[in-house]
Copies of this chain bind each other. A is one copy, B any other.
Amino acid sequence: MRSCRVSLRGVLISRSHTESVLRVEQPHPCRKMADFVTFEDVKMARERIRKYLHYTPVLTSATMNKMTGREVYFKCENFQKTCAFKARGALNAVLSIKEGLTAPGAKGVVTHSSGNHGQALAWAAAMGGLESSVVVPNNTPKIKQEAIQGYGATLALCEPNPVSRKETCDKISKEKGYEVISSCDHPCVIAGQGTMAFEILEQVPDADAILIPASGGGMSAGISIAAKALKPDIKIFVVEPKGKNLEACLRSGERLWPNPPQFVDTIAEGIRIQQLGMNTFPILCKNAEKTVLTVTNDEIVKALRFALQRMKIVIEGASAAAMAAVMSDKMKSMDPSIKKVVVVLSGGNVDIDNLPWMHK
């Protein structure tokens, strides 16, 4: 086992390299893990990464405001580097390694992801001058494989199941001395995604709520840490695809999901993982509203069309899920004092030649 050090609070903490944060099991995660990443970590992350990233715009739509009866502000991370918020966390991880704050001496970074995190980590590694390897299932579309390689990462193919991808990832990590960067649970990733909160509250200082789509929950956890520190009365609503069953988990503080981890049946492929991360779940138990906004495929498709036709932006399913949430009946029934609502459009990586309503 290679020893590495993780620090996000100025204190270097030794931990075993193979004891991945993904596998830290906690019987009462809400209490024990909620301060895993702090506001200070997010603040430092912001200073570390801001000059390499886009300060993404916030867009509004009079039609949307009329439809929802609220003031809705769309934070457009589809315009972020690599076209997704994932660039924030990945870059924070890479630069933290370069600065020797975490995994000093790591020769590179490795992750498993066929989606936005894989591209983002490949991009971030190239920016930071680190080697990178991305493990993707061997049935991943050629176009996605090429996108990852386009940013300079080495591609490693695995069998299309969670066990194979984890094993392949760990094998590369050991053989090459690469740090494993989990897509949602790595502390640097959570802190990096959280940097978005500073921009949101600069752009909409009196925001009452933020709606954030969640897969593993890295973005929602990170944003919740910084947003709650900056504006304690702000409400963080998590958006999920139908089948994720997050509300029951948040209300009970228990991981009620079946194991092994599975995918939810949703067209929003960026948020199809059912379980939140081991680190992100307790953070969200602490910071997020217990009410979760759940959206169906039909609602996602409708929002996607609205984005293209009315707002003139290209967004992916996960973003459309957040947009659908603000248009939902559940949102309509909420307290009218929640006036200014920020909706995070997480990314724009969608195949424009295969939008859901095409080829029918």
Residues of B within 8 A of A57 (CB): 57, 59
A residues 306-359 near B (Cβ < 8 Å) are 308-309, 311-315, 348, 352
Partner of A59, one of B79, B308, B311, B352: B79
Interface centre among A57, A62, A78, A305 (most CB of B within 10 A): A57
> CB distance A312 to B59 under 8 Å?
no
The yes or no answer to A42 lying at the interface (CB within 8 A) is: no
Partner of A79, one of B81, B308, B312: B312
A83 to B63, CA, bound (A): 12
| CA of A16 to CA of B59, assembled, Å | 43
Complex Cα spacing A315 to B62, Å: 19
- Chain B residues near A315 (CB, 8 Å)? 312
Enumerate chain B residues within 8 angstroms of A62, measured Cβ to Cβ: 81
Pick from B60, B305, B309, B313: contact of A313, CB below 8 A: B313
- Which bracket fits the contact residues of A? 10 to 19
Complex Cα distance, B79 from A313, in Å, reads: 9
> Which residue of B54, B78, B312 contacts A78 across the interface (Cβ within 8 Å)?
B312
Residue of B305, B311, B352 near A308 (CB, 8 A) is B352
- Interface mask (A59-96 → B, CB under 8 Å = 1, otherwise 0): 11010000000000000001101010000000000000
In the complex with contacts A57-B57, A59-B79, A79-B59, A312-B309 CB distance below 8 A:
no
Please give me the residue from chain B that is nearest to A352 by CB atom.
B308
Checking B54, B83, B312 against A348 with a beta-carbon cut-off of 8 angstroms, the contacting residue is B312
**A251-B292 Cα distance, complex, nearest whole Å:** 63
- In the complex, the chain B residue whose C-beta lies closest to that of A345 is B312
CB proximity to B under 8 Å, residues A25-56:
54
Q: Which residues of B contact A348 (CB under 8 A)?
A: 312
For A313, what are the chain B residues with a Cβ–Cβ distance below 8 Å? Answer: 312-314
A208 to chain B, nearest CB (A): 22
Which residues of chain B are near A59, meaning CB under 8 Å? 57, 79
Q: A352 and B309: CB pair below 8 A?
A: yes
Which of B54, B83, B308 is in CB contact (< 8 Å) with A314?
B308
Q: Given the complex of chains A and B, what is the CA–CA distance between A54 and B58 in angstroms?
A: 11
- Report the minimum CB–CB distance from A250 to chain B (whole Å): 31
In the assembled complex, the Cα of A312 lies from the Cα of B350 at a distance in Å of: 9
11 cross-chain CB contacts under 8 A: A54-B60, A57-B57, A59-B79, A78-B312, A79-B311, A79-B312, A83-B312, A308-B314, A309-B314, A309-B352, A313-B314
4 tightest Cβ-Cβ pairs between the two chains A and B: A312-B348, A57-B57, A312-B314, A78-B312
| Other A-B pairs beyond A309-B314, A313-B314, 15, CB < 8 Å | A54-B60, A57-B57, A57-B59, A59-B79, A62-B81, A79-B311, A79-B312, A83-B312, A305-B352, A308-B314, A309-B352, A312-B314, A312-B315, A312-B348, A314-B314
